[in-house]
Amino acid sequence: MRAPSSWTSSRLLVAALALGAKAAPDPTAELTAQDIGDFAAVEFGDRSVRGFPGPRARPSPARTAGRARGLAPAQRYSGGALLRPNPPAIVCYEGPAYDEAACKNLWPQGSTCLPTEEPVGNCTRGLPEYVVNVTSVKHVQAAVNFARNKNVRLVIKNTGHDFGGRSVGAGSLSVWTHNLKDFELIPEYRMGPYKGMAVRYGAGLEAWELYNHMAELNFTVTAAGGRTVGANGGWFASGGHGTLTSTYGLGCDQALEIHAVTADGEYVVANPLALSCKTGANSTTSFRTDDPAAFWDAMSIYFRFSAAVVDAGGVDWSYLTPLGNETYTFSVGMTWPNRTVEAVTEILAPLYEQLQAIGPRVHRLRAARGHALPLPPLPRKNWDDDEVFANTFAAIRVSVEAGYTFHGLAIGATKKAAGWPGREGAVNPAWRNGVLHGILIGLQPKGLTAQEARDEEAAIQEYMQLWRDVTPARART
């Protein structure tokens, strides 16, 4: 019993600021005039959300503090939903909250108050001032209305995995969707040409939780390969992909309905065809050789084979990392949905033959366990022509030889894989004929000045430009 579709319920922003103990138990109930009462700050209105003001309009600390004080009445109304937490990484810094063990388990979020073993100064600010722990549509509506009416910066945080720190805006009101965990299997669902099983799940579900539901109830939906990434949220909205992408497309390709709160506070059920899916990512094998020339030959063969992998419905993800002194490591994992071991062995046979043909210099294939900048996937055109492929691979090689890690994801999110409704959606067409989604990773040294950090960024961009230069213009849509 498998249904390659999901009925996602992105209850982005839920609202109980004005409700407290009187909140209705139904998480989908909307904010009413009765709920709002005399707390005008959460009224509906048509002012546009200004977000965080630009440099000229940047509020002074006093004004920001004033706005934060304006939130105090909201705290009274919230019934516990409104939180004022310390930045998570405060446990890494000197002071009463210091906790070495807790510090070791933190994921860096944003650019301030980062987890560190060498703390300098303190870590009390730089993240949202207040957080709404949303568990209902009303919470979301009240938070959005409040931010709009008071011109407070609003951010939405699900898991906090955003590489650019967009889920942790300084001085903001944060809508935290983590606890929207509802899940429902719908045996019979119809929409447009689709008829069959569907699932509905909340915006806070993580990939690992969705995988557990799949195992328990025996259905299949797309989810991130990274297990702690949100099953909805930023992954869903920005071209999120996973181990099933060459079979069922991107996460957003499978959505039949999206429940959301818009910037004017309205709760809407959106038709996914009107939504834009933007771009922004078992067996494992690694190569061993003591000959750099053989290593690069093997790499070229491996990456050339990516087109065959995605054409056969497979997905692979690999890391090519320089260790210094002309030494490199390469590791790769693959998934082959609905394929037997025999079928996969057959698909991969030409790859193994080519690698073996390099000679004894590639002397072992073994099973292993195994500042990031992505580009839209490198297109099929780069694989169709020997010379263009050689240039593409040279650009990757030069980037790795310069000290960066290349993270490659061979995924084929074709229209055929997407099916309906995805094939009619607004996803960036670069996904539809892509073969390899490349991410260049550079670790920034500690303690950089702002200018040094900008220089690091400019340096990695120079290598990314090599990738753009080898990609035919029309394929770079």
Ligand X SMILES: Cc1cc2nc3c(=O)[nH]c(=O)nc-3n(C[C@H](O)[C@H](O)[C@H](O)COP(=O)(O)OP(=O)(O)OC[C@H]3O[C@@H](n4cnc5c(N)ncnc54)[C@H](O)[C@@H]3O)c2cc1C
Instruction: State yes or no: residue 428 binds ligand X (CB under 6 A).
Output: no
282 alpha-carbon distance from chain centroid: 22
What phi, psi does 443 have (nearest 5°)? -85, 125
**Encoded amino acid at 179, one letter:** N
Instruction: State yes or no: residue 254 binds ligand X (CB under 6 A).
Output: no
User: How far is it, in rounded angstroms, from Cα 160 to Cα 174?
Assistant: 11
Query: What's the closest the beta carbon of residue 126 comes to ligand X, in angstroms?
Result: 16
Instruction: State yes or no: residue 377 binds ligand X (CB under 6 A).
Output: no
Query: What's the closest the beta carbon of residue 422 comes to ligand X, in angstroms?
Result: 15
Q: Which is nearer to ligand X, 245 or 286 (CB)?
A: 245
Residues 184-213 that bind ligand X (CB under 6 A): 203
Q: Which is nearer to ligand X, 226 or 292 (CB)?
A: 226
Instruction: State yes or no: residue 242 binds ligand X (CB under 6 A).
Output: yes
User: How far is it, in rounded angstroms, from Cα 317 to Cα 334?
Assistant: 7
Instruction: State yes or no: residue 246 binds ligand X (CB under 6 A).
Output: no
Residues 255-294 that bind ligand X (CB under 6 A): 281
State the greatest distance between any 2 C-alpha atoms of the chain, in Å, as a whole number: 80
Residues 146-185 that bind ligand X (CB under 6 A): 155-163, 166-167, 177
Query: What's the closest the beta carbon of residue 210 comes to ligand X, in angstroms?
Result: 12
Instruction: State yes or no: residue 249 binds ligand X (CB under 6 A).
Output: no
Which residue, 189, 251, 183, 174, is CA-closest to 217?
183
Q: Please identify, among the stretches 17-25, 212-220, 226-234, 298-306, the one whose residues bind ligand X according to the rule CB under 6 A.
A: 226-234
The size of the interface with ligand X (CB under 6 A), counted in residues, is 30
Q: Please identify, among the stretches 77-85, 218-226, 324-332, 390-398, the one whose residues bind ligand X according to the rule CB under 6 A.
A: 218-226
Q: Which is nearer to ligand X, 365 or 373 (CB)?
A: 373
Q: Please identify, among the stretches 34-42, 76-84, 238-246, 450-458, the one whose residues bind ligand X according to the rule CB under 6 A.
A: 238-246
Residues 2-21 that bind ligand X (CB under 6 A): 10, 12
Query: What's the closest the beta carbon of residue 451 comes to ligand X, in angstroms?
Result: 27
Query: What's the closest the beta carbon of residue 241 comes to ligand X, in angstroms?
Result: 4
Instruction: State yes or no: residue 233 binds ligand X (CB under 6 A).
Output: yes
139 alpha-carbon distance from chain centroid: 24
Residues ≥6 apart with Cβ < 8 Å to 377: 409, 411, 413, 430, 431, 434, 435, 436, 437, 438
User: How far is it, in rounded angstroms, from Cα 78 to Cα 26?
Assistant: 16
- DSSP per residue, 20-59: GGG--S-TTPPP-HHHHTT-GGG----PPP--S--GGGPP
What phi, psi does 304 have (nearest 5°)? -65, -30
Measured from the Cβ of residue 404, the count of other Cβ atoms closer than 10 Å reads 25
- DSSP per residue, 300-354: HHHHHTHHHHHHTT-EEEEEEEEEETTEEEEEEEEE-TT--HHHHHHHHHHHHHH
Q: Which is nearer to ligand X, 250 or 470 (CB)?
A: 250
**Is residue 104 exposed (0-12), middle (13-18) or buried (19+ Cβ within 10 Å)?**
exposed
Instruction: State yes or no: residue 391 binds ligand X (CB under 6 A).
Output: no
| Residue 384: strand, helix, or coil | helix
Segment holding 196, helix H or strand E? strand 194-201
Instruction: State yes or no: residue 238 binds ligand X (CB under 6 A).
Output: yes
Measured from the Cβ of residue 263, the count of other Cβ atoms closer than 10 Å reads 16
Query: What's the closest the beta carbon of residue 374 comes to ligand X, in angstroms?
Result: 9
Q: Which is nearer to ligand X, 164 or 187 (CB)?
A: 164
Query: What's the closest the beta carbon of residue 291 comes to ligand X, in angstroms?
Result: 33
Q: Which is nearer to ligand X, 104 or 363 (CB)?
A: 104
Residues 443-472 that bind ligand X (CB under 6 A): none
Instruction: State yes or no: residue 225 binds ligand X (CB under 6 A).
Output: yes
Instruction: State yes or no: residue 144 binds ligand X (CB under 6 A).
Output: no
Helix intervals (H) in 58-136 = 61-69, 72-78, 100-104
Task: Give the interface with ligand X as residue ranges (CB under 6 A).
Answer: 10, 12, 155-163, 166-167, 177, 203, 224-226, 229-230, 232-235, 237-238, 240-242, 281
